[in-house]
């Protein structure tokens, strides 16, 4: 019980610190932002709200101004099951990338961050 309370408290602290220190969004022209939004339509992030690695990934998405569907793999049984069946394991963060009919699952916040930087930092 104490461990759960500590975990909940730390999770809320992480979320609060993220909120007050969130980076500014990248500015783009309307055309470029529309292109980014279209490219991001095939992306979904499976995550836990208070996971520090998920927060790190969401900060990268926010900074790069990339709108991505967020899937709650902790509290939503359907999202959790999809992550397990399609992704192969319940591990977050996990970025589901659907392009040209092909689905790729990226794990690890550093790998996801590098992918997002490569794909969207210069857009």
CATH of the domain at 60: 3.40.30.10
pLDDT in the model for residue 6: 85
% the chain with pLDDT above 70: 99
**Sheet containing strand 94-99, strands side by side:** 69-72, 43-47, 94-99, 102-107
Q: Return d(Cα 60, Cα 113) in angstroms, integer.
A: 6
Query: Beta-carbon neighbour count of residue 84 at 10 Å?
Result: 14
The pTM for the full model equals 0.88
Which phi and psi angles does 9 have, rounded to 5°? -60, -45
Pairing of strands 69-72, 43-47: parallel
pLDDT in the model for residue 123: 61
Q: Return d(Cα 2, Cα 63) in angstroms, integer.
A: 35
Please count the structural domains in the chain.
1
Q: How far is CA 38 from CA 56, 98, 109, 118, in A?
A: 23, 12, 23, 16
pLDDT in the model for residue 1: 83
Q: Return d(Cα 94, Cα 89) in angstroms, integer.
A: 10
% the chain with pLDDT above 90: 76
Domain carrying residue 113: 2-24+32-120
User: What confidence tens digit (pLDDT) does each residue in 17-72 have?
Assistant: 888 998 999 999 999 999 999 999 999 999 999 999 999 999 999 999 999 999 99
């Amino acid at each position: 019980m104490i461990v759960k309370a500590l975990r909940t408290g730390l999770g809320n602290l992480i979320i609060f610190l993220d909120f007050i220190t969130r980076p500014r969004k990248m500015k783009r022209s309307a055309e470029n932002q529309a292109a980014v939004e279209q490219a991001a339509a095939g992306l979904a992030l499976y995550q836990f709200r208070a996971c520090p690695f998920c927060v790190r990934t969401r900060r990268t998405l926010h900074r790069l101004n990339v709108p991505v569907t967020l899937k709650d793999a902790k509290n939503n049984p359907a999202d959790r099951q999809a992550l397990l069946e399609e992704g192969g394991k319940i591990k977050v963060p996990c970025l589901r990338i659907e392009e040209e009919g092909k689905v790729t699952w990226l794990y690890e916040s550093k790998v996801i961050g590098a992918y997002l930087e490569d794909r969207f930092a210069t857009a």
